[in-house]
Amino acid sequence: MPHSFKFQQVDVFSSAPTQGNPLAVVSSADDLTDAQMAAFARWTNLSETTFLLRPTHPEADYRVRIFTTTRELPFAGHPTLGSCFVWLDNGGVAQAEEIVQECGAGLVRIRRDGSRLALCAPPLLRSGPVEDDVLQRIIAGLGLRREQVTGSQWADNGPGWVAVMLASRNDVLGVRPDYAALRGLNVGLVAPWTGPDAEADFEVRAFTGDLGAEDPVTGSLNASIAQWLIPAGLAPRQYTARQGTAMGHRGQVHVEQIGEQIWVSGEVQKCIAGQVTL
């Protein structure tokens, strides 16, 4: 028998609706099956759809499951901030000063940062140099020249990211990906944004090879890029990144290292609220 659930669609990493990355959130979804969650995520056709559930860990305030149109993810950034926003909007009260989210990757700490929400970047599952054959696939799949690449690093915190730094923002914005060539790879591009017109410190793009799509604004990628760039001295301890430009979006991501932890923050806008019947 169908049941109704509270539902919101929010826009993450934007100070204005429709300029960030949309996220569908279903609340009190404990009675839904895995198959129902996966089917609804396919139906929304968004990069991610999340489901809020009762926590199983005593330190967690809520639990979230994160689905793309093809698979479940252990962690993702914009679904973490968007899900937390909806949980708070529904009257959620944290046990402590920081909010603790339980997800497939474990516990993720979230804090309020003025008008933004900030997540503590989880540990990388894989880091280190990118193999030559993998880097060559990426260069070919993105239509780049080798001299445009100034650095690369495995930066996987769940979705499998490979991060590649290019020489200029124009290089990043000029990429036209061949998704067939990128199959099996999730690639993030980053380059400094310099000059008097710069509205952020870096420009970022994210390409998901298996989905054959570009993600408008990506919290997990920005977190893992920061875990590479800041320790390597390629970025300051506090910076901003713009993402979504090539898609007509104006996503703004704030990154800050506090102590040994890297925090990624952004604003969230409520766009749709109501009931969904599943």
Question: Helices 219-229 and 77-89, interaxial angle, to 10°?
Answer: 120
CA 198, CA 200: separation in Å to the nearest integer?
6
Is 132 found in the same domain as 59?
Answer: no
CA 79, CA 251: separation in Å to the nearest integer?
14
**Average pLDDT of the residues in 195-214:** 94
As a residue count, the chain comes to 278
| Local confidence band at 155 (pLDDT 50, 70, 90 cut-offs) | very high
| Local confidence band at 158 (pLDDT 50, 70, 90 cut-offs) | confident
CA 226, CA 118: separation in Å to the nearest integer?
14
Query: In 3D, which of 204, 215, 188, 218 has the Cα closest to residue 81?
Result: 218
Query: In 3D, which of 180, 244, 276, 263 has the Cα closest to residue 19?
Result: 244
Sheet strands (E) in the chain: 4-12, 21-26, 49-53, 62-67, 72-73, 99-103, 106-113, 116-120, 126-128, 149-156, 161-166, 186-192, 202-208, 213-215, 238-243, 251-258, 261-266, 268-277
pLDDT score for 210: 81
Phi, psi of 224 (to 5 degrees): -70, -35
pLDDT score for 1: 79
Q: Could you read off the pLDDT of 209-241 as tens digits, one per residue?
A: 888 999 999 999 999 999 999 999 999 999 999
Question: What is the share, in percent, of the chain residues with pLDDT greater than 90?
Answer: 97
Query: In 3D, which of 269, 272, 273 has the Cα closest to residue 115?
Result: 269
**Based on the structure, what is the number of domains in the chain?**
2
37: CATH? 3.10.310.10
Is 241 found in the same domain as 227?
Answer: yes
Is 157 found in the same domain as 32?
Answer: no
Is 152 found in the same domain as 91?
Answer: no
pLDDT score for 50: 98
| Local confidence band at 203 (pLDDT 50, 70, 90 cut-offs) | very high
- Structure tokens of 273? 């609220």
Is 196 found in the same domain as 74?
Answer: no
Is 138 found in the same domain as 106?
Answer: no
**Average pLDDT of the residues in 132-156:** 97
Is 271 found in the same domain as 161?
Answer: no
Is 145 found in the same domain as 29?
Answer: no
**Average pLDDT of the residues in 92-104:** 97
Is 119 found in the same domain as 133?
Answer: no
CA 97, CA 111: separation in Å to the nearest integer?
8
Local structure of 19: helix, strand or coil: coil
The neighbour count for residue 184, using CB atoms within 10 Å, is 9
pLDDT score for 178: 97
Is 118 found in the same domain as 37?
Answer: yes
**77 pLDDT exceeds 90?**
yes
Domain extent, residue 101, equals: 4-123+265-277
Is 272 found in the same domain as 227?
Answer: no
Phi, psi of 119 (to 5 degrees): -110, 145
Is 196 found in the same domain as 221?
Answer: yes
| Local confidence band at 169 (pLDDT 50, 70, 90 cut-offs) | very high
* Contact (Cβ atoms closer than 8 angstroms) between residue 177 and residue 183: no
pLDDT score for 92: 98
pLDDT score for 189: 98
